[in-house]
Amino acid sequence: MKSSNLCVMICWSCLLPFTGCDDELKDPVIPNEEELITTLTYRLIPTEGGETVVLTYKDLDGDGPGEAIVSVQTLSALTSYNGVLDLLNESQSPSSSITEEIEEEAIDHQFFFENTFDDWQIQYADTDFNGQPIGLSTLLTTGVNGTGSLTITLRHEPDKNGTGVGSGDMTLAGGETDIAVTFLISVQ
């Protein structure tokens, strides 16, 4: 027997006592494994009535080679909208709701809304059981005519007690970004 084969046999024989008698290999349990978010929909319903505006991001292959599809929308000037976010994993059939997971783990999630409009206001309309914001529901008020962008970011395990975080400032939030989507918007 060659010495290299002998070394391999010795190494394997040293490992055998640690493998136990269980012939089945078990998958490790991964707590809170990150879900794939393929679709983000932000429905904006005018508070005074009118047509709902739907901002949509869709990337069905996740990090794959396919390009994400991001809608470009027009909002009305000087208008308040009730905003409702919905997130899905549509890479599987049937699709699964990530929104439900965020609601169940609300203390570990917060959405942040950054825009390039000087005269917009975005307020949180929902909270977790500690009274801290989540962002699945919002009140968005537009300003005068213009063009710009709105970026929606979901953070996992942010420091909701950090300075400014409760009012939507992501600077000191920490945590990990689950998804960040930028929409181009025209206000007329």
For residue 3, the surrounding DSSP H or E stretch is: helix 3-19
How far is 159 from 176, CA to CA, in rounded Å? 11
pLDDT of 21 over the 50 cut: no
The arithmetic mean of pLDDT across residues 94-110, rounded, is 97
How far is 22 from 141, CA to CA, in rounded Å? 61
Query: What pLDDT, on a 0 to 100 scale, did the predictor assign at position 44?
Result: 98
What percent of the chain is predicted at pLDDT more than 70? Answer: 82
pLDDT of 2 over the 70 cut: no
**43 close to 86: Cβ distance less than 8 angstroms:** yes
pLDDT of 23 over the 50 cut: no
Sign of the C-alpha dihedral computed for residues 27, 109, 181 and 101 taken in this order: positive
* pLDDT tens digits for range 144-179: 999 999 999 999 999 999 999 999 999 999 999 999
- Which domains occur in the chain, in start order? 35-187 (2.60.40)
Banded pLDDT at 31 (limits 50, 70, 90): very low
Query: What pLDDT, on a 0 to 100 scale, did the predictor assign at position 34?
Result: 64
* pLDDT tens digits for range 52-92: 999 999 999 888 888 999 999 999 999 999 999 999 999 98
Banded pLDDT at 35 (limits 50, 70, 90): confident
**50 close to 63: Cβ distance less than 8 angstroms:** no
